[in-house]
Structure 1
Amino acid sequence: IINAPRGHISDVGSENVVYENIYLRTRSTNSNFHRNTDAWGTAWSKNIILRNSEFTVGDDCTAISTGVTNLTVTNVKCVEGHGFSIGSLGRGTQPDYVKSVHFINNECHRCQNGIRIKTVPGGKGSIEDVRFQNVKLIAAENPIAITTHYWCEQNRNCNIDNSLSIKNVVIDNISGSTSNKDMPVLNIDCSKRGLCSGFSVTRINIQKNPKTKKNVCNYLVGSDKIPYCRQ
């Protein structure tokens, strides 16, 4: 698919499906940014595999929404988008949930975000058993970003202390480099009520630039045992 006007592929309510060998390339043909051109999104689906594909877009390379269980994304190359994202979740009145989502052996080149989980303040539900492993990030503006305060600057009260719980997250063997921006390599910004727990962060090898800020692990339960939180 070349130069789609909006999002490309949406998977809703599927079971036992494999997506593979997909090539997407959407760039703006004028000075306007090609926003809302998500590559591949899914909701209310289970036992899904996305593999062996390449996406050049202006928004999320993966947009994982509520009701997704047992998803594996492997050997996917993302270029210039917003990275491998779960969320945003928590905007509605009903609880959102995501469980057992694994990103293994992927790449993100010149992406705004590399790997990301995003929930909004006041949301309900849970995100559980997430794995980002063997991911290469080249010139990423915001390499590793996990927040329970997404969207609050425009539409929510950032001081709300509750959101979805995010637990049992593995971040392992993330390599590459930052862009020339000043964002931290590891940016985990959670709510005060201990909603982020059970995190394992190992083998982070991202080359920083002179402006890169110190890593952030706000209100992450167990952050004192994660050396990268102090770097």
Structure 2
Amino acid sequence: MNLHKLILTNNACYKAGKTITPKGIMVHSTGANNPNLKRYVGPDDGLLGKNQYDNHWNQDKPDGQQVCVHAFIGKLADGKIATYQTLPWNHRGWHAGGSANDTHIGFEICEDGLTDAFYFNKVYTEAVELCVYLCKLHGLTEKDIIGHYEGHQKGIASNHGDPKIWFAKHGKSMDNFRAAVKASLTVVMKPTETEPQKYYRVQVGAFSLKTNAENMLKELKAAGFDGYIKYN
């Protein structure tokens, strides 16, 4: 994950100063053909590039709306994919249009024309990695992740179809997404090689009579030790 931080301190949501205890994560996609982070995140930090229209979300009410999410995923000026955190993770966002604002961290994936599989796979992977990071940070699991449309089905979000439509165009679903997060959360590190077993031999004594040596050997074997009689 290529994570950066630019908190939208001028947004009315940030200035409201309300916090939550995150209980889940809601995945959104922007619904507009603009994959560039600078459209939503600003001002330019040297990586984002200049937004010539100055219509990013670091203002009181962007586009006249009360909206703000915790993060965006999209393109930097050089075309690389990145995640920008735009609110503290425990800040109450304005992303769900319902009670999920009180419980869920919400992030937007910047849509393009919906046909570029290369871009989709890049941002999809980035979103999975962000969710893995947030699950570990807040003690959540893949079961706590929903899409905006699933939030509507649960009665905790407004009636939007994201990110279902975009995901489906590339053969993905929120179930696939959750499965990918689960797989990353349950990876078990395995040793690359096994250290060979070591044995340490102990000489217990020398005997002038063979019968005494044999008796000692029997006692050792009875105790679980292995050994043999060596003649000098």
* TM-score under structure 2 length normalisation: 0.30
Q: Which structure is higher in RCO with an 8 Å CA cutoff and minimum separation 6?
A: 2
Q: Whose helix proportion is higher, 1 or 2?
A: 2
Q: Whose strand proportion is higher, 1 or 2?
A: 1
* TM-score under structure 1 length normalisation: 0.30
The structure with more radius of gyration? 2
